[in-house]
Structure 1
Amino acid sequence: MISTNRIFNIASDAEFNSLALDVFKFQFENNPIYRSFCDLLYKHPADVKSIQDIPFLPIQFFKSHHVVSSANPIKKTFTSSGTTGTLTSKHHITDLTIYRESYLTGFKNFYGNIEDYAILALLPSYLERDGSSLVYMVDDLITRSAHKESGFYLNNLDDLKSKIHQLEEKSQKTILIGVSFALLDLVEQFQFNLKHTIIMETGGMKGRRKEIIRQELHNILQSGFKMNEIHSEYGMTELLSQAYSKGKGIFECPRWMKIITRDTEDALSIQLPNKTGGINVIDLANINSCSFIATQDLGKVYKDGSFEIIGRFDNSDIRGCNLMAL
């Protein structure tokens, strides 16, 4: 078994690559679905010498199969949102402490101590269903923030506006994390001039509004909140880690997560940086399910490891954790 201490204390690219190969071997041996997928590709541990050789499981498998690499009992199942009649992804979690360590360590690396912030959450589409991994994470962040002003908001935008103004008057560092359509609703009804608040968007329109490109979304939010940059979170039901953008739609990963792109015409061909392709995610925190996932997002990875999301494959469905406005 691979220790979480090794996962969350990666200090170099060499350590990441070495651990990724060990995780591949572990999941090849312990995940029947992933093993079958690798068998179909004739990709076995003896054939895999670098992370470029590792097969990436198509994300659709989380809709149709039980993707688990552990014999331990399921403690929680996170589900994606979906329109009526569509299959939803199911991420079966055997160890919630790994998820908590991933998002808490990731948040601290990007933003510092959670106790320094008031956390406001405007996530109506997520709160209106069960099984959201985002709600689980944000609820824990709210609890750990230890600020009585922290909390969730559904449709009570007047109360949220008043709370934001109160926190601004106290110069309290605040993060408002919200789904895109609800943030647009907020700035259409009220005007702000924020100096102590971070606005973090975390998803598309969920069928509530017409999809727009991220730059247009950020321009509207920057104007409505009177701020220079809008932050973003990139995560999904099938992952246990998040990447963050502090502006301009450029994301960075925590040390145990990596994005690479694949050729849009050849799903098995890994691309060099600076070329648009399909997004493949390595999430080593996913030790008990699958750490190597081929998503339906399109994006570009830069030489420093940062990346941006450009769109989605035309034949992909609009999923609940899609973080790129189309």
Structure 2
Amino acid sequence: MEREVLAFIREPGDEAAFDDLALRLFRWQRERNPVLASFWAGARPRHWREVPPLPVGAFKQAAVACGDPARAVAVFETSGTTRGPEVRGRHHFFTLDLYDAALLPVFERYLLPDGARLPMFILTPPPEAAPHSSLSYYFGVIRRELGGPGSRFFWDGGAGDLLYEALARALREAEAAGTPVVLLGTAFAFVHFCDRARQEGWRFRLPPGSRAMETGGFKGRSRELRQPELYALMAEVLGIPPARIVNQYGMTELSSQFYEPNLRDPRYAGFPRPKQGAAWCRVVIRDPETLAEVPDGEVGLIEVVDLANVGSCAFLLTQDLGRKVPGGFEVLGRVPGAAPRGCSIAADIVLGGSGRHPGEGA
């Protein structure tokens, strides 16, 4: 099954081919995954849209694994920022080949549509410092496979903090040399760096061709920012226009990610922007009570079908609200009452988001 999905990732087929592969993956996972054998016991889908999606909370309750979890080559964990590590969701991987194959072409499509190979400055811990972080692994692969000379992580593993001064020096050097760069990090890593830059009086005007990608959401423990506010802050401090900043939507329980298309298509430079993904993924918006698919434009729970999730579950019901719009789908935030989570909140806590930011009064 891994080989079949990998072949589809490399050469995607039409909708009929997707449906056929998705249904065969459904049956394959049901036979090998005890959680899904129980959850899907009575399911007889005739189309991929009829497969009951598994709530992502299941990853906190059991090993959603198509095999012996002890044989996993990697285990990525959710941030566990709300109730401690005992309720972290765990995603077991028996191979990372599919993960790598899924992330690279989509990142290139939405962040490097011009084919550039630029220095990548990454505002998260590196994989060796966070071996259970899917985001750190993701950035490690991107740096290794797509980063230009000078790409690096700006993180002090000992102190557990951003290397603020080192990043500022690297930005000044890029500015002086006229070298465009790619900045990558969580939303609140950028918030904390920009706050520090304001405190120190740092201002940068990065060269044309520079771009940034942020992920993790705009709500932290310390404060909440709307997307236009964050991008205005980044533009003020870094000199990267909002039209050159991309939001990525992903989660530990998935193997694929979704991106805003504004670097590829200037029609999407304003707000709000849709999310788009890969040919091996589908997004369905479902009524929270009935789980029926809702019409385009109506708000519901986001279901993601990710065929790259071979070793766990390819049909997942998130705790995020969204709606289908022209060009893709929008993410509108968490379901009311759902526990906040995510790498951006984790970064906010680590970087001092207890309610006071650098430069603010006590």
TM-score normalised by the shorter chain: which range applies?
Answer: 0.7 to 0.9
Instruction: Report the Cα offset of residue 125 of structure 1.
Output: 11
From 222, 228, 233, the equivalent of 2:242 is: 228
Q: Deviations over 1:91-119 (max 9, x none)?
A: 00001111111112222333258871211
Q: Secondary structure at the match of 1:254?
A: coil
Superposed, which structure 2 residues align to 1:100-179 within 5 Å? 100-110=100-110, 111-112=112-113, 116-123=117-124, 129-145=130-146, 147-154=148-155, 155-179=162-186
Distance 1:286 1:121, change over 3 A: same
Instruction: Report the Cα offset of residue 207 of structure 1.
Output: 4.5
Residue aligning to 1:16: 18
Asked if 1:186 is matched to 2:193, the reply is yes
From 33, 36, 40, the equivalent of 1:34 is: 36
Asked if 1:212 is matched to 2:209, the reply is no
Q: Distance in 1 between matches of 2:125 and 2:225?
A: 19
Residue aligning to 2:65: 68
Residue aligning to 1:252: 276
Q: Distance in 2 between matches of 1:58 and 1:257?
A: 17
Superposed, which structure 2 residues align to 1:258-277 within 5 Å? 258-266=282-290, 268-277=291-300
Asked if 1:88 is matched to 2:111, the reply is no
Contact 2:304–2:317 (8 Å) recurs in 1: yes
Deviates more, 1:70-79 or 1:105-114: 105-114
Distance 1:145 1:167, change over 3 A: farther
Give the % identical residues: 30
Instruction: Report the Cα offset of residue 147 of structure 1.
Output: 3.3
Q: What TM-score results when the alignment is normalised by the length of structure 1?
A: 0.87
Deviates more, 1:212-221 or 1:172-181: 212-221
Q: Secondary structure at the match of 2:40?
A: helix
Q: Distance in 2 between matches of 1:125 and 1:217?
A: 24
Residue aligning to 1:239: 254
Distance 1:145 1:166, change over 3 A: farther
Query: Counterpart amino acid of 2:256?
Result: S
The count of corresponding residues between Structure 1 and Structure 2 is 316
Contact 1:67–1:289 (8 Å) recurs in 2: yes
Q: Distance in 1 between matches of 2:129 and 2:147?
A: 25
Asked if 1:317 is matched to 2:339, the reply is yes
Q: Secondary structure at the match of 2:308?
A: helix
Contact 1:232–1:246 (8 Å) recurs in 2: no
Q: What TM-score results when the alignment is normalised by the length of structure 2?
A: 0.79
Q: Distance in 1 between matches of 2:50 and 2:322?
A: 20
Runs of 5+ consecutive residues of structure 2 not aligned to the other structure: 156-161, 263-270, 346-362
Distance 1:206 1:124, change over 3 A: farther
Query: Counterpart amino acid of 1:315?
Result: G
Instruction: Report the Cα offset of residue 218 of structure 1.
Output: 2.7
Contact 1:79–1:89 (8 Å) recurs in 2: yes
Query: Counterpart amino acid of 2:297?
Result: N
Name segments (4+ residues, structure 1) moved above 6 Å. Answer: 125-128
Instruction: Report the Cα offset of residue 255 of structure 1.
Output: 1.1
Deviates more, 1:221-230 or 1:48-57: 221-230
Q: Deviations over 1:249-268 (max 9, x none)?
A: 421101111211111232x2
Distance 1:196 1:261, change over 3 A: same
